[in-house]
Amino acid sequence: MNAAATANATAAPAVAPPMDRTACFQRNAQAVASHRCEVVEHRWVNDRYRYLRLWADADLAGSTRPGQFYQLKCPPAAGLQPFLLRPMSVYGVGPEAGTIEFLYNVTGTGTRALASLEAGGHMDIVGPLGNTFGLAPDARRILVVARGVGLATMAPLVQQAARAGVKVGAVMSARAPKDLMRDEFLRGADADVHCVYDSDGSSSVEAMETLVRRLLGEAHHDVVYTCGSHRILMLLQRVLQDHPLTRGEVAMEQRMACGMGVCLSCVRLFDRDGDKQFLRVCREGPVFPIRDVVGEVEFG
Ligand SMILES: Cc1cc2nc3c(=O)[nH]c(=O)nc-3n(C[C@H](O)[C@H](O)[C@H](O)COP(=O)(O)OP(=O)(O)OC[C@H]3O[C@@H](n4cnc5c(N)ncnc54)[C@H](O)[C@@H]3O)c2cc1C
Ligand code: FES
């Protein structure tokens, strides 16, 4: 099917500088498959987040890249009947080929049902789905700006960058210090971390914008990545207007049904150098250039 439909919306002035979009549009050559997995480990990380490690008789580690996601079939549990599969970013893979990890926030029907799975149990997952973060071989320094569950999506990117010798700066935002999950984010990687909190006001848009502008002003960053917060996305879009040589990538979270490009429930509006296009977050994304994202719009 046609991947993108051109929008009829009035075109906004295009100010985005020329950029290489291929970087975050890599698609894995591995086929999407359904995997029957065994639950190897499943535990609370804090009072809201759970860590899940699965094993399948397949090379999940070899076929999954940072930024991609799987559709998880959450099992029915007492009083909970999740119908749709739930998209979850890959949080980690390996060291065994069949091992894959997820980190999730227990919020609604799907994730509460998922939380009931015990080690030794089984569940089905479908993937890997979507495109990947772009990290050019000559990248020297990146900045990741993470909030909430967005850290699960970006944790493998931090690992990949650290392994490649790329300098990693991180701005981590949370409600309060106890919610930060710094160790879960870095997983031993070396990074220059700046923590900001709602509790002391340091995560306000104004304070974060000042911080990000300072960091980007102090040293050239090849790419800025984010996930998990619309206001941070909009903030970065503003800041990057003043840094035309720095690319920006965002992993978008959008409600999904099929997760495979068929149902169109995840469509969002993007602006590619003045060309307005509806794109499927599950298929053309979930990673998009920050400059292409159009704020929330009503369409139908
Ligand atoms: C590409 C992608 C990656 C994601 N990665 C993670 C992750 O690593 N960890 C994690 O905790 N969550 C992640 N999410 C959100 C996750 O899929 C769940 O939708 C969310 O945790 C809501 O939980 P629920 O199913 O219990 O909510 P329910 O209330 O049962 O969900 C009802 C419906 O709304 C959808 N929905 C609700 N909230 C969201 C949301 N924020 N984003 C998208 N759809 C939503 C659900 O998928 C479901 O279809 C991701 C979403 C996307 C699109
Ligand atoms: S979720 Fe069905 S097309 Fe994206």
Residue 176 has φ and ψ, to the nearest 5°, of: -155, 165
Q: Is the pLDDT of residue 3 over 60?
A: no
Ligand 1: lining residues by beta carbon, under 6 Å: 69, 84, 86-89, 103-105, 107-111, 149, 152-153, 253-256, 286
Which ligand is closest to the CA of 253, given by its number?
1
What confidence tier does 297 reach under pLDDT thresholds 50, 70, 90?
low
What confidence tier does 299 reach under pLDDT thresholds 50, 70, 90?
low
pLDDT in tens, 215-273: 999 999 999 999 978 999 999 999 999 999 999 999 999 999 999 999 999 999 999 98
**CATH 3.40.50.300 corresponds to the domain 33-129:** no
Cis before 286 (ω within 30): yes
What confidence tier does 78 reach under pLDDT thresholds 50, 70, 90?
confident
For residue 263, give the ligand 2 atom closest to its CA: 2
pLDDT, average across residues 139-152: 94
pLDDT attached to residue 80: 84
Question: Which pair of structure tokens corresponds to residue 261?
Answer: 């490009």
**154 alpha carbon to ligand 2 midpoint, in Å?**
22
Which ligand is closest to the CA of 267, given by its number?
2
Q: Is the pLDDT of residue 86 over 90?
A: yes
* Ligand 2 pocket mutation pick from 264, 268, 279 by most atoms within 8 angstroms of CB: 264
pLDDT attached to residue 147: 92
* Ligand 2 pocket mutation pick from 2, 70, 83, 260 by most atoms within 8 angstroms of CB: 260
What confidence tier does 30 reach under pLDDT thresholds 50, 70, 90?
low
pLDDT attached to residue 16: 35
Tell which wins on pLDDT, 120 or 30: 120
Cα Dmax for the chain: 55
pLDDT, average across residues 143-157: 94
pLDDT in tens, 159-173: 999 999 999 999 999
For residue 280, give the ligand 2 atom closest to its CA: 4
What confidence tier does 281 reach under pLDDT thresholds 50, 70, 90?
very high
* Ligand 1 pocket mutation pick from 253, 280, 281, 284 by most atoms within 8 angstroms of CB: 253
pLDDT, average across residues 186-208: 95
Fold of 5-27+132-292: Rossmann fold (3.40.50)
Nearest CA to ligand 1 atom 28: 108
Q: What is the pTM of this model?
A: 0.90
pLDDT, average across residues 19-25: 50
Mean per-residue pLDDT of the chain: 89
**273 alpha carbon to ligand 1 midpoint, in Å?**
30
Domain segments of the chain as ranges: 5-27+132-292, 33-129
**33 alpha carbon to ligand 2 midpoint, in Å?**
16
pLDDT in tens, 33-50: 999 999 999 999 998 999
pLDDT attached to residue 40: 97
